[in-house]
Amino acid sequence: MTIGDFHLHTTASDGVHPPAAVVRMAAERGLRHIAVTDHDTTGGLAEAAEAAKAQGLQLVPGIELSTDLGKADIHLLGFGLDVGAKPLQEFLAWQREGRLGRTRRIVEILAEHDMPLDISRVFEIAGDATVGRPHVAQALVERGYVGSVQEAFDIWLGNGKPADVDRPKLPPAEAIAMVHDHGGLVFIAHPVFIADDYEPALDQLRDWGADGVETFYKNYDEETVERHRQYAVRHGLATSGGSDYHGLGNPDDREIGDIPFPDDEVRRFLAVLEEHGVTTNTAEGGHA
Ligand code: AMP
Ligand code: ZN
Ligand code: FE
Ligand code: FE
């Protein structure tokens, strides 16, 4: 267990639990510092901030952005951005629009494979959230086309599978600039998902201004953490840590705070944010 977890999802995107519940669970598990990092939305932050205040937790405003680097899907975590800023919210609205179009296309492809879905059911499952593949997966399970969400990804929705559809994204350099322009810092999320040899991508992202690397992630073993940590030290990058909690209970998932993130490394991460003038526990969560 750790005192900090800076990669959490809520029902504002594809997490299972509402922001207030995620914050409460974090507090119950003994965490002191957290970031909610929903995909393409800051819509959960106001509720999270209120809950964090009530629970006496420090909340760093966060976001997770998907970007394309060639064929690789690069996820970037933005911390401490000014979520009330209009250009940021316009960009996020454009990203969510792209997700709607993509979902329509995914449903078409699934129908071509004899798995018709009622698209309004997919949107109903997503509710107020930024709609994503996990919501389609749930609809597939519900209709009995697959046995589990994981199976839906393994056969149909996962990267490179038949119903994996692209959507418009920013190149990483532009996403990094977008976060910087709004006062935030950019950390490269879960590098191991980029490629087995992820260092060339990290080199490139560092050149484009990324500030740090997510080093203390989910189920990483000591050796993996050390590899990331040494890369960061070698290149003058900061390090962050998070569980990428969605509440789905998939095999490799971890609970909130169940990550290899030493307390002194948590403090170091927070010190980096502070040095950059990042304010935390912002009540104005912006609206999505
Ligand atoms: P989206 O944002 O719609 O592209 O969906 C991305 C989300 O889908 C991730 O945050 C994961 O929760 C989930 N996901 C992506 N790939 C897989 C996979 N291969 N297996 C299980 N879940 C996945
Ligand atoms: Zn997600
Ligand atoms: Fe991610
Ligand atoms: Fe994530």
Q: What is the pLDDT of residues 29-83, one digit of tens each?
A: 999 999 999 999 999 999 999 999 999 999 999 999 999 998 888 999 999 999 9
What percentage of the chain exceeds 90 in pLDDT?
A: 90
Q: Find the length of the chain.
A: 288
Q: How far apart are CA 88 and CA 264, in angstroms?
A: 32
Q: How far, in Å, is the centroid of ligand 2 from the Cα of 167?
A: 15
pLDDT at res. 282: 56
The ligand whose atoms approach the alpha carbon of 137 most closely is: 1
236 CA distance to ligand 1 middle (Å): 30
User: Is residue 281 over pLDDT 80?
Assistant: no
Residue type, 10: T
pLDDT at 192: 97
What distance in Å separates the CA atoms of residue 61 and residue 46, rounded to the nearest whole number? Answer: 9
pLDDT above 60 for 286: no
User: How far is Cα 23 from Cα 278, in angstroms, rounded to an integer?
Assistant: 20
Over range 21-36, report the average pLDDT: 98
Q: What is the pLDDT of residues 103-160, one digit of tens each?
A: 999 999 999 999 999 999 999 999 989 899 999 999 999 999 999 999 999 999 998 9
* CA separation, residue 111 to residues 26, 71, 106 (Å): 40, 26, 9
* Amino acid letter, residue 24: R
Nearest residue (by CA) to ligand 1, atom 2, is 132
Per-residue pLDDT at 272 exceeds 60: yes
Statement: residue 283 has pLDDT above 50: no
Pocket of ligand 1 (CB under 6 A): 14, 39, 132-134, 150, 153, 158, 246
> In sequence order, what are the beta bridge partners of 36?
8, 61
**Ligand 2 midpoint to CA 246 (Å):** 7
Bridge partners, residue 216, by sequence: 241
